[in-house]
Amino acid sequence: MIEEFPNDKSLEDSLEQERLNNDSASLSSETKIERIPTSEEVDSVFKELIGKEFAVICKREDEKGIYKYDVRIPGDLPGESTGYEYTRQGNYPEGSSLSSVIDIVYYQKDENGQDIAAGGNSIANWVDGKWEIIENHSESLPETIDEEVLINVLKNKQPGDSEAADMIGKWLDLEQKQIGPRSKDQLALNLSLAEVYRRAGWITPAIEAYEEVELQANNETDKETLAQAKRALAELDQEQI
């Protein structure tokens, strides 16, 4: 059997066609890499994710278009807010990103009223010219509420205020998850609560909390904590005179 080979012209044509196909595929790939979200496309996904009015914090562009776009909404409790922050793939004065992404960031105010990031994670990725929403993105909520943040909020509230009560409850729940089951850990948490009340100027709740600490410390023969609670109660009595 005689095997036939293509002539030189046919071979050249075949190789040329293959090169053109490869160039076309390469160009298509490069086009996808260059495709970046427009301002309208970022706005659209913000509206989808948030579902209500939001405040624009910053919006920055360069010769390619928008590269940084941050918006924010109020949080569930006083002093809290939630940011949705878009960063285009690349390096910028404000930072860098390996991909075009939207992050959700949870903020809490410190004692000076400044917003401090307390947690967050990616919520949407820009893939092949469209947004891909990351499911279950709300799982990375802040694991703690800073004590100074809590005190700062309580200073502007009165005992019995529902928003303050919600924040105290949330703070206690989060702190409870951080400690062990030992009664000594619970005693330390109760002492922290009493000190939060005192520093916030909530005198009556502070006295009640220190009395609870005094009773628990006495039952557990924790002399150091017992002395601390007695001293605080004596000082609070003097402050009320």
- What residue segments make up the domains of the chain, in order of their start? 39-139, 147-240
Residue 66: phi and psi, rounded to 5, are -75, 135
CB-based contacts of 106: which residues, under 8 Å, 6+ apart? 75, 80, 81, 82, 83, 117, 118, 119, 120, 141, 142
Beta bridge partners of 96: 91
Can you give the pLDDT at residue 65? 92
Contact 182, 220 (CB under 8 A): no
Can you give the pLDDT at residue 10? 53
Contact 202, 165 (CB under 8 A): no
Distance CA 161, CA 177 (A): 25
CA distances from 103 to 71, 99, 139, 145, 196 (A): 11, 11, 13, 20, 32
Q: Which tokens in the block code for residue 60?
A: 């920055």
Can you give the pLDDT at residue 169? 87
Residue 17: CA count within 13 A, CB half-sphere? 6
Whether the full predicted model's pTM is greater than 0.85, yes or no, is: no
Can you give the pLDDT at residue 144? 63
- At which residue do the structure tokens 């949705």 appear? 84
Q: What is the pLDDT along the chain (241 residues), one digit of tens a residue?
A: 444 444 554 545 554 555 555 555 444 444 445 578 999 999 999 999 999 999 999 999 999 999 999 999 998 777 789 999 999 988 888 878 888 999 998 888 876 778 888 778 889 999 989 999 987 655 445 556 778 778 887 888 888 888 788 888 888 887 877 776 666 788 899 999 999 999 999 999 999 999 999 999 998 888 999 999 999 999 998 877 6
Can you give the pLDDT at residue 20? 53
